[in-house]
């Protein structure tokens, strides 16, 4: 599940991002409305958490445009405590839910789970590709329907590659994923993980693109 967070309060945004990642979501933050709209246009996200008070464009305008770009994209809006009016407007504009600030992370996670359930498909938590299946909610991986055992770090490397099927992931990108999860990363960490992962995966599942990185190809 890839979450886009549009929030100009850097302290709150970074804290939320860490919490979301800790829960197994892939989370990215942008700090203004224009960047939010670019990210939404990229089509890389499954859910948007949108603060209505943004520095450049009004959050409600971002919401309206987001729904024009992708009507089906779930948007959870964050409103100021006294923002009853904007809350109503937001829901009228197609927001799926709202949270009034201040809110607890548990509350946010509960709302996200409701939206995920409403989406009603497993594709948001399970990625299947060529006999390999990864459940990002259960943090489990199966190969040809048999559960396989991977370390936490190996799991994260596989998850990153599968969330980017067909797109090369550089060593640095994969390292940064491990860093984000608070893991120590030595210079050869990724090579070692890839080598161990390959021993458990079908042959040539992960391809090396010499000097660039690694990729799980589409076909
Ligand atoms: Ca704000």
The rounded Å distance from CA 178 to ligand 1 centre is 29
Average pLDDT over residues 133-153: 89
Which CA distances in Å does 16 have to 22, 23, 26, 27?
A: 10, 11, 12, 9
The rounded Å distance from CA 97 to ligand 1 centre is 17
Lowest-confidence segment of 35-49, 106-120, 149-163, 173-187 by average pLDDT: 173-187
Average pLDDT over residues 141-165: 91
User: What are the structural domains of the chain?
Assistant: 2-119 (3.40.50.2300), 126-215 (1.10.10.10)
Per-residue pLDDT, 138: 79
Average pLDDT over residues 145-153: 91
User: What's the predicted TM-score (pTM) here?
Assistant: 0.60
CA–CA gap between residue 210 and residue 139 (Å, rounded): 30
The rounded Å distance from CA 67 to ligand 1 centre is 20
Per-residue pLDDT, 122: 43
Average pLDDT over residues 189-209: 94
SS percent in the chain: helix, strand, coil, step 5: 40, 20, 35
The rounded Å distance from CA 61 to ligand 1 centre is 14
The rounded Å distance from CA 56 to ligand 1 centre is 10
Dig out the tokens for 35 from the structure.
């960047």
Task: Kindly state the percentage of the chain with pLDDT values over 70.
Answer: 96
Peptide bond into 102 cis (omega under 30): yes
């Amino acid at each position: 599940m890839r979450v886009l967070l549009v929030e100009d309060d850097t302290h709150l945004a970074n804290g939320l991002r860490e919490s979301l990642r800790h829960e197994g979501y892939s989370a990215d933050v942008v700090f203004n409305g224009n960047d939010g709209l670019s990210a939404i246009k990229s089509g890389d996200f499954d859910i948007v958490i949108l603060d209505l008070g943004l520095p450049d464009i009004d959050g409600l305008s971002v919401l309206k445009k987001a729904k024009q770009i992708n009507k089906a994209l779930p948007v959870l809006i964050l409103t100021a405590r006294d923002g009853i009016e904007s809350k109503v407007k937001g829901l009228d504009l197609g927001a799926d839910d709202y949270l009034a600030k201040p809110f607890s992370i548990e509350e946010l996670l509960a709302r996200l789970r409701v939206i995920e359930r409403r989406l009603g498909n497993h594709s948001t938590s399970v990625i299947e590709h060529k006999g390999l299946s990864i459940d990002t909610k259960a943090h489990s991986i199966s190969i040809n329907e048999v559960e396989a055992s991977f370390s936490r770090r190996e799991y994260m490397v596989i998850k990153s590659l599968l969330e980017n099927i067909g797109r090369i992931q550089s060593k640095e990108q994969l390292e940064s994923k491990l860093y984000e999860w608070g893991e120590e990363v030595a210079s050869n960490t990724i090579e070692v993980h890839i080598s161990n992962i390959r021993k458990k995966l079908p042959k040539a599942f992960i391809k090396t693109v010499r000097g660039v990185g690694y990729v799980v190809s589409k076909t």
